[in-house]
């Protein structure tokens, strides 16, 4: 039973698009499913890499911790069919470069032993090609993340986040701590900024959801190098 389910999952995972079913089935046979509760860790940064994971249900957050553990930065959140530790699996002296934990209960993942993955990928040119394309995409995302964190202020990042995740408003919002980890700050500041956006009439908050009111203005905040202070000044004249 497990192999069929595993195979179905792999077949639909974006990273394996373009692969032959015949190439995937040996991999599927080596995999096994794991169930996780909210908050439970899939692995910790620094542990040797044993497996690569494909999310089957729920979601997994991958994050780095500052020295001392006072702050954390969420690198990405992966939902069904997405990979966790996909890149780490191909490093030679491989230890996980980040922590991974389930965000929901229950979360189910398919664990694929790294040797099995490497073997499958290195023996299957189409797979190798898919993996290379996947890596390139991830790298581009990471670069975007990097300079948004370095170049833009919190207001811009928050505005961008709201626009991106609130296609259908109202939309459930993560907790302030989760948002803070995502945007590289602390919960208090998120609280203030959201309050500020509300006062500017950009959003409405109600019971853990946001409704975006002024898409155009949010986009301006997100896109240009414009601080909320500027916006207030402009609104006031």
Partner DNA sequence: AACGCCCCTTGACCTGGGTCATGGCCGTGC
Partner DNA sequence: GCACGGCCATGACCCAGGTCAAGGGGCGTT
CA distances from 144 to 48, 150, 151, 227 (A): 28, 10, 10, 20
Residue 224 contact partner, candidates DNA, a copy of itself, none, CB within 5 to 8 A by sort of partner: a copy of itself
219 counts as binding a copy of itself under rule CB under 8 A: no
Among 41, 137, 171, 211, which residue sits at the site for a copy of itself (rule: CB under 8 A)?
Answer: 137
Residue 177 CB, shortest distance to DNA, in Å, is 5
Q: Specify the stretch interacting with a copy of itself by CB under 8 A; choose among 3-11, 88-96, 99-107, 163-171.
A: 88-96
235 counts as binding a copy of itself under rule CB under 8 A: no
Among 37, 146, 172, 215, which residue sits at the site for a copy of itself (rule: CB under 8 A)?
Answer: 146
Residue 175 contact partner, candidates a copy of itself, DNA, none, CB within 5 to 8 A by sort of partner: DNA
Residue 8 CB, shortest distance to a copy of itself, in Å, is 26
CA distances from 126 to 21, 29, 132, 209 (A): 11, 19, 10, 43
- 74 strand-pairing partners: 63
DSSP letter, residue 65: E
Residues contacting a copy of itself: total by CB under 8 A: 43
Residue 63 CB, shortest distance to DNA, in Å, is 15
**Residues 172/185, Cβ–Cβ less than 8 Å:** no
Q: Is 70 helix (H, G, I), strand (E, B) or coil?
A: coil
Of 23, 29, 22, 26, nearest to 5 by C-alpha is 29
77 counts as binding a copy of itself under rule CB under 8 A: no
**Residues 102/39, Cβ–Cβ less than 8 Å:** yes
Structure tokens at 107: 């979360």
**Residues 214/162, Cβ–Cβ less than 8 Å:** no
Task: Enumerate binding residues for a copy of itself (CB under 8 A).
Answer: 64, 66-68, 70-71, 73, 75, 87-88, 90-92, 97-98, 121-123, 125, 128-129, 131-133, 135-140, 142-143, 145-147, 149-152, 184, 223-225
């Amino acid at each position: 039973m497990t192999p069929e389910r595993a195979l179905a999952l792999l077949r639909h995972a974006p990273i394996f698009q373009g692969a032959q079913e015949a190439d995937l089935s040996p991999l599927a046979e080596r995999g096994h499913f794991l169930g996780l509760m909210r908050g439970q860790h899939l692995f910790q940064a620094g542990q040797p890499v044993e497996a690569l994971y494909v999310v089957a249900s729920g979601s997994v957050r991958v994050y780095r911790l500052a020295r001392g553990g006072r702050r954390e930065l969420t690198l990405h959140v992966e939902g069904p069919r997405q990979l966790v530790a996909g890149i780490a699996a191909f490093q030679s002296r491989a230890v996980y470069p980040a922590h991974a934990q389930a965000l929901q209960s229950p979360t189910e993942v398919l664990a694929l032993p790294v040797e099995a993955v490497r073997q499958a990928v290195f023996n299957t040119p189409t797979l190798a090609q898919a993996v290379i394309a996947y890596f390139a995409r991830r790298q581009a995302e990471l670069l975007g993340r990097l300079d948004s964190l370095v170049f833009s202020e919190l207001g811009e990042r928050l505005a961008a986040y709201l626009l991106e995740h609130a296609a259908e408003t109202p939309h459930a919002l993560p907790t302030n701590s989760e948002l803070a980890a995502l945007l590289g700050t602390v919960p208090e500041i998120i609280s203030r900024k959201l309050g500020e956006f509300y006062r500017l009439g950009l959003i409405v908050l109600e019971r853990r959801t946001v409704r975006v009111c002024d898409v155009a203005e949010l986009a301006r905040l997100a896109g240009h190098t414009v601080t909320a202070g500027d916006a207030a000044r402009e609104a006031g004249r």
